[in-house]
Amino acid sequence: MSIQSNLVSFLKDIPENVKLVAVSKTKPVEDILEAYQAGQRIFGENKAQDVAVKQPQLPNDIEWHFIGHMQTNKVKFIAPFVKLFHGVDSYKILKEINKQALKHGRTIDCLLQFHIAEEQSKFGLSLEEAEQLLSEESFISLENIRITGVMGMSTFTHDKHQVRKEFRHLKQYFDQLKSTCFANDEVFKEISMGMSGDYRIAIEEGSTMIRIGTAIFGERYK
Ligand SMILES: *Cc1c(COP(=O)(O)O)cnc(C)c1O
């Protein structure tokens, strides 16, 4: 299957209200261009250096999403163009994104990453931590970022019930924050969940944004 035909069948498969982030990490610009020519405009990368190299070689109307865990010292490489950070889980990183966004006269959208998987991971907030962060004066004073929703990754397992349960938790966190912290905020609306192996379950559980790599571009070899 070609990238183009993978994409076409994907877009047929998903509801209109679900955005497709084509995860092009490790893939060459030629592959991205092929997806672009098939109509895809949103691409996700997880290494700041990689996307900083690819971005200038590709059309300007691509919407770049950063989907990985961000290190503070790398925000500056991508702040001039990145549209949305999916994996934000601390005040420290929000503060840096805000600082770099301000420098470039931009507002950058961010999703709060939650820890929903059973696996031990350093990344992701709990609901309490998120509510705490969102209520702090220091956060409220950040004017060049917008929190537009939540993001999470499920446990890497074949147990579909487990995956469904985790996505359901993320949706509950979203609903909770929507009613407590973002009741009158129209931009807080995205739930980024679902990858090649579990996007159907994610959509059933309320995903508005799926991040698909392998099923579009094929296996990654590095
Ligand atoms: C790599 C990656 C994806 C895409 O994974 P596939 O299984 O190839 O679809 C999605 N989200 C994040 C955060 C990733 O790092």
pLDDT tens column, 89-99:
999 999 999 99
State how far the Cα of 66 lies from the Cα of 29, in Å rounded to an integer.
16
Distance 184 CA to ligand 1 centre (A): 32
Q: Which atom of ligand 1 is nearest to the CA of 211?
A: 10
pLDDT digits (tens, 9 = 90+) for 172-208: 999 999 999 999 999 999 999 999 999 999 999 999 9
Distance 91 CA to ligand 1 centre (A): 24
Distance 68 CA to ligand 1 centre (A): 9
Question: Does 221 score more than 90 pLDDT?
Answer: no
Say how many C-beta atoms besides its own lie within 10 A of residue 25's C-beta: 18
CA torsion angle for 195, 200, 201, 205 (degrees, to 10)? 100
What is the pLDDT confidence band of residue 123, given thresholds at 50, 70 and 90?
confident
What is the pLDDT confidence band of residue 1, given thresholds at 50, 70 and 90?
confident
State how far the Cα of 70 lies from the Cα of 164, in Å rounded to an integer.
26
150 bridge partner residues: 112, 191
Decide: 210 in ligand 1 pocket, CB within 6 A: no
Residue-wise burial string across 57-84, b where 16 or more C-beta atoms lie within 10 A, e elsewhere: ebeeebebbbbbbbeeeebbbbbebbeb
Question: Does 222 score more than 70 pLDDT?
Answer: no
Pairwise pLDDT comparison (118 vs 203), residue with the higher score: 203
Question: Does 118 score more than 90 pLDDT?
Answer: no
What is the pLDDT confidence band of residue 121, given thresholds at 50, 70 and 90?
confident
